[in-house]
């Protein structure tokens, strides 16, 4: 009886037997890949006094322009889900990177805007983040990147949703 060859993920994680299903292996492979790709970004952002989620919030607010974005909308734009956007905004505001104001038309709505200091912090990271993307994924062809992106998007949309 021929033995099954272990996958790259099984070898990397020192697994002795094949995975129980291709779905399990794919899921764990996505998690492993996300972890490997995220670590250098976490280090880069930490050097700038940010975390991945706080960096993401600043990017969202920069993209929103001078009008800012209602605080309750920020979570919808986040790349990764976080349980408490308010706490992220508190930290960014205490450091002068974000300002929040209560809207006069509807006092329940609080709008967050990036400050000049927040814009400067992002500008200082722009080249480094692009370079890091290139270093981590530049060995893939454009066609491979499109395929990967498409497959990941498809995986995020399970049937029936």
For position 111, which CATH number holds? 1.10.10.10
In a domain, 31, yes or no: no
Task: Say if CB 101 and CB 111 are below 8 A apart.
Answer: yes
Note the pLDDT of residue 31: 94
Question: What range defines the domain where residue 102 resides?
Answer: 48-125
In a domain, 157, yes or no: no
pLDDT digits (tens, 9 = 90+) for 41-98: 999 999 999 999 999 999 999 999 999 999 889 999 999 888 889 999 999 999 999 9
Q: Is the pLDDT of residue 161 over 60?
A: yes
Q: Is the pLDDT of residue 16 over 90?
A: no
- How far CA 45 is from CA of 20, 24, 63, in Å, comes to 37, 31, 19
In a domain, 63, yes or no: yes
Note the pLDDT of residue 4: 63
pLDDT digits (tens, 9 = 90+) for 82-140: 888 999 999 999 999 999 998 777 778 889 999 999 999 999 999 999 999 999 999 99
In a domain, 78, yes or no: yes
In a domain, 90, yes or no: yes
Q: Is the pLDDT of residue 146 over 90?
A: yes
How far is Cα 21 from Cα 24, in angstroms, rounded to an integer?
Answer: 5
Number of domains in the chain: 1
Strand partners, 114: 98
Q: Is the pLDDT of residue 37 over 70?
A: yes
In a domain, 145, yes or no: no
Note the pLDDT of residue 147: 97
Task: Say if CB 19 and CB 28 are below 8 A apart.
Answer: yes
In a domain, 139, yes or no: no
In a domain, 112, yes or no: yes
Q: Show contacts of 59-63: CB within 8 Å, 24+ apart.
A: 59/122, 61/98, 61/112, 61/113, 61/114, 61/118, 62/114, 62/118, 62/119, 62/122
């Amino acid at each position: 009886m021929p033995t099954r060859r272990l996958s790259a993920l099984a070898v990397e994680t020192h697994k002795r037997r094949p995975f129980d299903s291709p779905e399990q292996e794919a899921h764990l492979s996505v998690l492993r890949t996300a972890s490997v790709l995220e670590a250098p970004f976490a280090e880069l952002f930490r050097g700038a006094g940010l975390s991945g989620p706080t960096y993401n919030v600043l990017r969202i607010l920069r993209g929103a322009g001078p009008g800012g974005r209602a605080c309750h909308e920020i979570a919808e734009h986040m790349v990764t889900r976080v349980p408490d956007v308010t706490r992220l905004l508190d930290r960014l505001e205490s450091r002068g990177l974000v300002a929040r104001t209560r809207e006069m038309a509807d006092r329940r709505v609080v709008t967050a805007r990036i400050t000049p200091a927040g814009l400067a912090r992002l500008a200082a990271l722009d080249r480094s983040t692009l370079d890091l993307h290139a270093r981590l994924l530049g060995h893939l062809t454009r066609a491979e990147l499109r395929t990967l992106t498409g497959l990941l998007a498809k995986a995020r949309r399970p049937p029936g949703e």
